[in-house]
């Protein structure tokens, strides 16, 4: 039986993956809570920072949902480059929210001042989430995609010109390659995370070093997305030489690079890179759009 490589990009397949992701998130949350309960009953048997607080259990379902969001990013690349970039911003927002749960378990509630390192980290993450969420709204608003997922429809290749048809086919090949890389990174990251977690859990004394899920998967994934954005920029030359389109796609590359740098930054530089990356993408999309409107006006 010949495998149809378009199956992962069909709505029915996406719906099934979404349903299985929900089941996995609920199951993972319950398992994580169960392990935290076992640690409470048998503290000498298990020592792990991920089992130190019930709030840490939220990490598991959020991580599973983030993997699904990464799949959706690849899924919508075929249909809309703008929505594909918007999904990058959504993933960053969810990563920030996941980080807030970690920040809450490290609050210095007994400190005489709120201005401790852990408390300031929570405040920065909260502010960054609100600003990024607002910028995502503006991004979709000025992009013309105002009906969410239901407003995204694949173009009919029979009704468009040959140049745009080549661009769409190039994006289909790119999305397939991205999907294969995504599957490889997911399996590799899962094996690595389980190995590190198991090692930490069987230690009698915790090492005190919490595993960073972002460093395991998303740091590498956003490196791949940078390469993907560059290819999209080059592919766009197949159907247009319009200056605003080239500048817009070039700006998306810069935006993704700034987001990627946030994974290796420390302190307030994390939020600064994220806000700059998303803000730059939003601003350049706005400028590209008004440039296009300027060209369409009668002299």
Long-range (24+ apart) CB contacts under 8 A made by 289-298 are 289/142, 289/143, 289/244, 291/243, 291/244, 292/242, 292/244, 295/244
Report pLDDT for 280. Answer: 97
Report pLDDT for 15. Answer: 94
Report pLDDT for 199. Answer: 63
- Neighbouring CB atoms inside 10 A of 189's CB total 20
State how far the alpha carbon of 12 is from the alpha carbons of 6, 16, 17, 156, 223, in Å.
11, 6, 9, 19, 29
CB-based burial of residue 176 (10 Å sphere; 0-12 exposed, 13-18 middle, 19+ buried)?
middle
Indicate the domain borders of the chain.
7-296
Report pLDDT for 103. Answer: 81
pTM for this predicted structure? 0.87
Report pLDDT for 2. Answer: 59
Report pLDDT for 221. Answer: 93
With a cut of 70, list the residues of the chain below it in pLDDT: 1-3, 43-50, 111-113, 146-161, 196-214, 295-299
């Amino acid at each position: 039986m010949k495998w149809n490589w378009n199956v992962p990009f069909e709505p029915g397949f996406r719906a099934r993956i979404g349903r299985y992701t929900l089941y996995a998130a609920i199951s993972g949350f319950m398992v994580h809570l169960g392990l935290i309960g076992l640690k409470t009953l048998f503290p000498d048997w298990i020592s792990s920072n991920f089992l130190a607080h019930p709030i840490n259990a939220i990490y598991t379902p959020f991580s599973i949902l983030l993997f699904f969001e990464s799949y959706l990013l690849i899924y919508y690349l075929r249909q809309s480059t703008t929505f594909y970039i918007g999904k990058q911003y959504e993933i960053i927002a969810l990563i920030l929210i996941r980080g807030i749960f970690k920040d809450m378990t490290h609050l210095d509630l007994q400190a005489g001042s709120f201005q401790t390192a852990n408390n300031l980290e929570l405040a920065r993450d909260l502010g960054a989430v609100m600003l990024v969420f607002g910028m995502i709204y503006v991004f979709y608003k000025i992009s013309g995609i105002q009906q969410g997922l239901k407003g995204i429809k694949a173009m009919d290749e029979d009704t468009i010109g040959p140049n745009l048809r080549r661009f769409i086919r190039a994006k289909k090949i790119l999305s397939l390659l991205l999907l294969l890389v995504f599957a490889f990174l997911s399996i590799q990251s899962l094996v690595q995370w389980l190995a590190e977690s198991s090692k930490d859990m069987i230690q009698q004394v915790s090492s005190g070093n919490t595993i960073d899920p972002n460093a395991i998967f998303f740091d590498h994934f956003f490196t791949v997305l940078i390469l993907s954005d560059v290819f999209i920029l080059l592919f766009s030359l197949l159907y247009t030489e319009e200056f605003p389109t080239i500048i817009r796609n070039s700006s998306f590359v810069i935006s993704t690079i700034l987001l990627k740098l946030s994974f290796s930054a420390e302190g307030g530089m994390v939020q600064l890179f994220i806000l700059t990356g998303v803000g730059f993408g939003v601003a350049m999309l706005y400028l590209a759009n008004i440039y296009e409107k300027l060209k369409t006006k009668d002299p």
